[in-house]
Amino acid sequence: MTLFTVDDLATLAGMEVSDERYGAVYRTVLGLVREAYGADPEAATGDARQVIVSVSVAVALRVLSNPLGARSMGLGAANVVFYRIRADSNIRGGIDLITALMNDNVVIVRLSDGATDEYGRPSRDEAERLNSRARIEQRSSQEGEAFTTDVWRIALPANSQIDAGDEIEYQGKRFSVINAPDNLSIQGFPFLDRVETDLRYVGTIDAT
């Protein structure tokens, strides 16, 4: 039985997915999950099928976003998830699938308004620093006459505290959160709950 349809994938990814692309992604995911699971994932039933479907969709989203890295990202995540399932007597207990796909380590820098300048504009002072796992990737780069605007997208674990105007530090780079985050929760896929938002690259981190 099919693990997910082209409509499922399009809804979860928030984008149009052609039948051809769906077929390519599905075949890749099926191979990765079968290798990690050690059996035919399409034949699973009951609680095992629920978990396998969630794993498969999570890996599919990762493959869809970066097909060149499908094997390292997909299989690694699937193995982590299935290892945790085998170690847990309750197959649905304590499994955080989307976090298993978040391989980037970032620092969330929460900012608050400080003293105002001579024009009445408040400064933005650092209020808190939070270490977090994340998935971060560049979405676009637009070159203007005087500067280049880089837009990135970040996914964080569900219930992460972050607001527009806060900053993200990642691999020596600093990003500003452009807009209010989206709390993404899809009925039927509770293990894919996450927070996503757009970032703007603002410069490197000052080592001093």
Burial classification of residue 156, based on how many CB atoms lie within 10 Å of its CB (0-12 exposed, 13-18 middle, 19 or more buried): buried
- What are the structural domains of the chain? 6-93 (no CATH), 104-204 (2.40.10.270)
Contact 122, 113 (CB under 8 A): yes
Q: What is the pTM assigned to this prediction?
A: 0.57
Q: What is the mean pLDDT of residues 128-157?
A: 76
- Between 186 and 26, the more confident residue is 26
- Give the integer Cα–Cα distance in Å for 65 and 12: 12
Residues 53-99 pLDDT 10s? 877 887 787 777 665 444 444 445 555 455 444 444 333 333 455 55
Q: What is the mean pLDDT of residues 124-131?
A: 85
What six digits make up the tokens of 9?
């994938």
